[in-house]
Amino acid sequence: MKFTDGRWRMRPGVHPAYAHEVLDVDLGLGTLTVYAPAYHVRDRVDLQQGPVFTVDFSAPMPDVIGVSVTHFAGEVTRPPRFELLAEATPQDAVLAGGPDAAVLTSGALSARVRRDGGWQVDFLAGDRVLTTSGPEDLAFITTDAGEHHVRERLSLGLGAAVYGLGERFGPLVRNGQSVDIWNADGGTCSEQAYKNVPFCLTNAGYGVFVDHPGNVSFEVASEDVTKIQFSAETQALRYFLIYGPTPKEILRKYTALTGRPALPPAWSFGLWLSTSWNTSYDEQTVTEFVDGMAERDLPLSVFHFDCFWMREISWCDFEWDPRTFPDPRGMLARLKAKGLKVCVWINPYIAQRSPLFAEGKAHGYLLTRPNGDVWQWDLWQPGMAVVDFTNPDAREWYASKLDALLDMGVDCFKSDFGERIPTDVRYFDGSDPELMHNYYTYLYNRTVFELLRKRRGDGEAVVFARSATVGSQQFPVHWGGDNSSTYESMAESLRGGLSLCMSGFGFWSHDIGGFEGTPTAALFKRWVPFGLLSSHSRLHGNRSYRVPWLFDEEAVEVLRRFTKLKIGLMPYLYQAARVAHLQGIPMMRAMVVEFPDDPACTYLDRQYLLGDDLLVAPVFTADGAVDYYVPPGVWTHLLTGQRVSGPGWVRETHGFDSVPLLVRPGAVVPFGAAEDRPGYDYADRVTLQAYEIADDATVTTVIPTVAGEVACTFQTRREGPVVRVWADHPPMGWRFLLVGIESVVSVAGGTAARHEHGTLIHAHGPELIIRLPEE
C-alpha cells in the first residue's frame, strides 16, 4: 500500500506520524523496550500528547531479533496468531546500554538503537550493517477513512535483491513490486497468489518475517526504491529480522521458527495421473488409463480422482457418484491390487444440496454472518457454505467424513481451494475475519494432514494442497494451481515454485502440460522433463486428459524415460527430501539460493538446482533451443556425460528426450537399481556416480531408507591419483562410476569395466582404493 505522492507529499487523506527520537529505554530480562515520541521533545510539556511509539526488541532464537511496534496497547487481541515454535527467552539475548546507543544481541545479529539524535535502528552482523530503519521509516499512518496503519521501512543496499513472499508468478526478484499478502484464486498469470507468505529473504544476508496473519502490504523498492516497506492496518505489528548470512541459513532459521515440512512418503515422489477435472470419466475410463500406462511400461504411483467422483452440485458430500462409480470399495481394491495409491479431491465447502449442509447448519459447523445466518453464495457451488475450522467439533466432524474414505481404501487427499474465505462472517472462537482470511487454509490443511498422520502414521501422510500461509509448509505437498497450456505458463509456473520454495516450503508440484487448455504434443513433451524433475509430478488438466498416448507415441517414450530417471534418482532425491524435512532447505532451489555470491545468479528464474548437485534448465521452446547459465567449474550432463565449463552462458538445442540436466563438479550422485516404483531399497545395488572430484576433497553421500532413516553413508576421498571409497554399512552389490575417466591404473576391493560415461567399478566389499592415471 502506497501512502506517499512522490518524495515530498502524502496522498490525499493520509496523515503520518513518524518515530522521531528516543525518549527512554528499558533494559528488561532479555528484552529491550524503546519509547520514541513522534516529535522532538524540547521539555516536559511536549510529553502531554502523543503519539509515542513503544518498540520492543526480543530474541526468540540465535540470529533472530523480534521487533514489536505498538501505538494503542488496549486493542483487543483476537485470534488467530501464527503458531511459532520459538519464543523469546532471556538467555538468547545480550543487552548493552550506553549514552549513545542501546543494543540487543542475538547470536551474530544485533539491533543497535541510537539514543541521541533522530530515530535510527541498525541491524548488524558483527560490525557490518545489514539494514536500517531510519528517519521517517517507522510510522503510524491514519487516514480520513478512519484507518490506522503501522508501517516500517528497512533500507536496501546497492545490489540487494528481495525474494519470496509466497508463490508469486511474476519476476522472481521482488524489487519494484507491490505485493499484498491476501490469498486469492487468481490462476498463475496474475499478481494474485494462492499462497501468500509475509516472509522475504534477500541476497544481502537477512530475511524479514512479518508476524501478522492478515493483509500485509509490501512495497519492495517501489514506493521508495531504496527501501523494503511493509504495513498493516492494526495498532501493533511485530516483525522478525533473520540473519543468515546465506539464503540457505536464512531458510533454516525461518523454518525453525515457523515449522519445517513433514517428510512425504517415498511413493508420493512417483508419477501421479489424474482423471482431469471437467472430463467425462467412470471406472471403465480409470481402468483404461491405468492399464494403458502399465501396457506401455509407464510406472505409475498414484491415481487421482478429481471433483466428479462426487455428484454435481453436491461438493462436498464425500459420497461416490453411484452413476459412474457403483462399486467404489471394489474399484479401490482393484486399483490397489495393481500397486497404486489413491487420491481423491476435496475442498472445505459444503453445497446446499449436500446432506452435510443441513447437518453442519444444525450443529453450528458452518461459518455464519454476524446475524447468525449461515454464510452462503452461489460461486463455485449453488448455495455453498464454508466449514468453520475454528470449532473443534467441526474439525472432528469434517475429519470423520474423510476417515470413512480412508477406511474404504483412499490413501491421500487433494485439499483444493481455501482462498476465497469471506470476511463478513462470525467464527466459533471469535476469530477476527480479516486475520482468518489467509489463516483459514492453515486450519483446513492441518485438519486433513493430522487425520492422515493419525491413520497412516508419520512418513505416510501427504496432501496435494493449493492454498497456504505461514506454517502450511508443515503439511506437504503444495502444487501451483491453475496454469495454462502454453510455454509462457510453464515458465510462470517455475517462477511461482521457486518463489514458494524461497518462502519456507520444501516441496512443490505443478500440472504437467498445463491445466487450462490442451497442450500441443511438443509442449507436453517439453513439460514432462520439468515435471519429473520437480519434487512431485502430476499429470492433470481441466477439460482434456493427460495420458501421453493421446498426444503421440513419442510422448509415451519421453514420459517413460523421465519417469524411470526419477525413480533411479530416488536415493538422491529422497535424501534431498530428508534435508528439506530436517533443515528446511527446499528440494527445488533458485540458483541464488545455492550461489548467492555469483551476481549472474541474482535474477535467474528459468533454471534451478534440484537438491545440492543437479542443475535443471527446462526447455521452453518447441524447437528445443535453450539458454542457461553454468556457475564456475566443470559441470557434466547427466544424460550424456558431456562436460560444460563455467562460469558462462550456454546455448544448446535438445530433442524431446533430453533436457539440460547437469551435475555439479565434486558431486557423488547415488542411483538406485529399480525403475518400476519410487519406494524400494535404495542401498541395494546402488551405483555412486562421481563427477570431477577435486584433489584433497572428501564427499559424503547418505543413502536413505524409504522410512526416512539412514541406510548407510559413503565417503569418497581423493588424494592425488588415489580415490578411496568406503561405507559404514556397505550394501551388497554396490558400484562406483568414475564419470569422464576412461581407465584406471589399479583397483583394490573391486573390478573395473569400461562404461559409456567412464569407468564402472563393482565393489567386492566395504572399501575401494582406486589409482587413477597420472595427469
Amino acid present at 527: W
* pLDDT tens sequence across 29-46: 889 999 999 999 998 888
The average confidence (pLDDT) of the chain is 97
Q: Mean pLDDT throughout 382-386?
A: 98
Residue corresponding to grid cell 452462503: 376
Distance, in Å, from the CA atom of 530 to the CA atom of 551, rounded to the nearest integer, reads: 17
Distance, in Å, from the CA atom of 183 to the CA atom of 306, rounded to the nearest integer, reads: 23
Instruction: Please report which confidence band the pLDDT of residue 89 belongs to, taking 50, 70 and 90 as the band edges.
Output: low
Q: Taking a C-beta distance cutoff of 8 angstroms, is the pair 466, 479 a contact?
A: yes
Q: From residue 131, how far is each of 117, 207, 221 by CA, in Å? A: 19, 10, 14
Q: Mean pLDDT throughout 672-700?
A: 98
The confidence score (pLDDT) of residue 775 equals: 77
Given the residues 185, 419, 605, 692, the one annotated as active site: 419
Q: Evaluate the CA torsion angle 182, 224, 494, 341 in order and state its sign.
A: negative
Q: Taking a C-beta distance cutoff of 8 angstroms, is the pair 391, 436 a contact?
A: no
Residue 291 is classified by DSSP as H
Instruction: Using the predicted structure, report yes or no on whether residue 576 has a pLDDT greater than 70.
Output: yes
The confidence score (pLDDT) of residue 95 equals: 84
Distance, in Å, from the CA atom of 389 to the CA atom of 397, rounded to the nearest integer, reads: 10
Which pTM value belongs to this model? 0.97
The confidence score (pLDDT) of residue 91 equals: 60
Convert 409-418 to b/e letters by CB count within 10 Å (16 or more is b). Answer: bbbbbbbbbb
Given the residues 223, 411, 460, 482, the one annotated as active site: 482
Listed range (81-90, 507-516, 621-630) with the worst mean pLDDT: 81-90
Is 482 one of the annotated active-site residues of the chain? Answer: yes
Cell of 42: 524540547
Distance, in Å, from the CA atom of 464 to the CA atom of 278, rounded to the nearest integer, reads: 18
DSSP 412-445: EEEE-------SS-B-TT---HHHHHHHHHHHHH
Q: Where are the beta strands (DSSP E) in 283-373?
A: 302-305, 341-346, 349-350
Residue 330 CA, distance from chain mean position: 36
What are the two backbone dihedrals, phi and then psi, of residue 618, each rounded to the nearest 5 degrees? Answer: -55, 150
The confidence score (pLDDT) of residue 357 equals: 98
Listed range (70-79, 80-89, 163-172, 376-385) with the worst mean pLDDT: 80-89
Distance, in Å, from the CA atom of 654 to the CA atom of 318, rounded to the nearest integer, reads: 45
The confidence score (pLDDT) of residue 700 equals: 98
Residue corresponding to grid cell 517501489: 222
Q: Mean pLDDT throughout 63-78?
A: 96
Q: From residue 628, how far is each of 207, 330, 433, 644, 734 by CA, in Å? A: 27, 50, 46, 11, 34
Helix 392-408 vs helix 355-363: crossing angle, to nearest 10: 150
Please indicate whether residue 562 or residue 99 has the higher confidence score (pLDDT): 562
Residues 6+ apart with CB under 8 A from 219: 1, 2, 178, 227, 228, 229, 230
3-state DSSP: the chain helix, strand, coil percent, rounded to 5? 20, 35, 45
Closest C-alpha to 480, from 529, 515, 521: 515
The confidence score (pLDDT) of residue 99 equals: 87
Is 419 one of the annotated active-site residues of the chain? Answer: yes
Residue corresponding to grid cell 559404514: 728
Q: Mean pLDDT throughout 680-684?
A: 98
Q: Taking a C-beta distance cutoff of 8 angstroms, is the pair 683, 728 a contact?
A: no
Q: Taking a C-beta distance cutoff of 8 angstroms, is the pair 53, 19 a contact?
A: yes
Closest C-alpha to 395, from 448, 358, 453, 466: 448
Instruction: Using the predicted structure, report yes or no on whether residue 501 has a pLDDT greater than 90.
Output: yes
Distance, in Å, from the CA atom of 258 to the CA atom of 358, rounded to the nearest integer, reads: 37
Q: What are the residues facing 151 on neighbouring strands?
A: 139, 231
Q: Mean pLDDT throughout 425-446?
A: 98
Is 373 one of the annotated active-site residues of the chain? Answer: no
The confidence score (pLDDT) of residue 90 equals: 59
Residue 305 CA, distance from chain mean position: 24
Instruction: Kindly state the percentage of the chain with pLDDT values over 70.
Output: 99
Instruction: Kindly state the percentage of the chain with pLDDT values over 90.
Output: 96
Q: Mean pLDDT throughout 288-314?
A: 98
Q: Mean pLDDT throughout 686-697?
A: 98
Q: Which H helix or E strand runs over 201?
A: strand 196-202
Amino acid present at 133: S
Q: Which H helix or E strand runs over 637?
A: strand 625-637
Instruction: Using the predicted structure, report yes or no on whether residue 86 has a pLDDT greater than 90.
Output: no
* pLDDT tens sequence across 522-569: 999 999 999 999 999 999 999 999 999 999 999 999 999 999 999 999
Q: Mean pLDDT throughout 271-297?
A: 97
The confidence score (pLDDT) of residue 96 equals: 85
Residues belonging to the chain: 775
Distance, in Å, from the CA atom of 323 to the CA atom of 699, rounded to the nearest integer, reads: 58
Residue 332 is classified by DSSP as H
Q: Taking a C-beta distance cutoff of 8 angstroms, is the pair 203, 596 a contact?
A: yes
Q: Taking a C-beta distance cutoff of 8 angstroms, is the pair 183, 467 a contact?
A: yes
Given the residues 219, 306, 416, 460, the one annotated as active site: 416
Convert 631-668 to b/e letters by CB count within 10 Å (16 or more is b). Answer: bebbbbbbbebebbebeeebebebebebbbbbbbbbbb
Residues 6+ apart with CB under 8 A from 576: 587, 610, 611, 612
* pLDDT tens sequence across 236-260: 999 999 999 999 999 999 999 999 9
* pLDDT tens sequence across 345-362: 999 999 999 999 999 999
Q: Mean pLDDT throughout 127-137?
A: 97
Q: Mean pLDDT throughout 408-413?
A: 98
